[in-house]
Every structure is written in structure tokens, then in C-alpha cells.
Amino acid sequence: MMMGQACVVCTAHSTGQDSELRLLKTQVLSRLAEKMKRDVDVGLIADFRRFRREKAAASGARPTLDATAPARDEASES
């Protein structure tokens, strides 16, 4: 009889660990997905800026940048 009770406790304990592990996995994957999304967004913005500058240089025009552009470019390249 004692052995049966121990198994029930083990099963309940295991289920608790499984749910904690599932929660941890979900949190880690969510953070990873958010980081990847930010990296892609920053990369797309930097690529578009480069494209705009190259297009302006090819046409002989001078690209217009606001005062915060250099700070944003540095942030996107890091």
C-alpha cells in the first residue's frame, strides 16, 4: 500500500515539473522570437537606409537625413 501512495506522489510531482518545464520553454522561446524579430526589424531598416543612400548617390541627388539619423544608424549596426 505504501508503494502505491509513493507512486501517486511521484506522478503529481512529475506533472508539476512538466508544467514548470513547459512554462520555462515557452518563456525562452518567446524571448528568442522577440529578439529575432527585433534583429530583423533593425536589419531591414538599416538595409533600406543603405539602399536609399545608394539610390540617391546613383542619381546624383543628396539624401536628406534628420538630426537623429547618425545615432540610429550606429544603433542599427551594433
Domain ranges of the chain: 2-77
Query: Residue 60 carries which DSSP code?
Result: T
Helix (H, G, I), strand (E, B) or coil at 73: helix
Long-range CB contacts for residues 19-23, cutoff 8 Å, separation at least 24: none
Query: Within 13 A of 17's CA, how many CA atoms are on the CB side?
Result: 6
Cα separation, 46 vs 42, whole angstroms? 6
Q: Where are the beta strands (DSSP E) in the chain?
A: none
pLDDT digits (tens, 9 = 90+) for 5-50: 555 445 545 678 899 999 999 999 999 999 999 999 999 999 999 9
Round to the nearest angstrom and report the end-to-end CA distance of the chain.
63
Q: How confident is the model at residue 51 (pLDDT cuts 50, 70, 90)?
A: very high
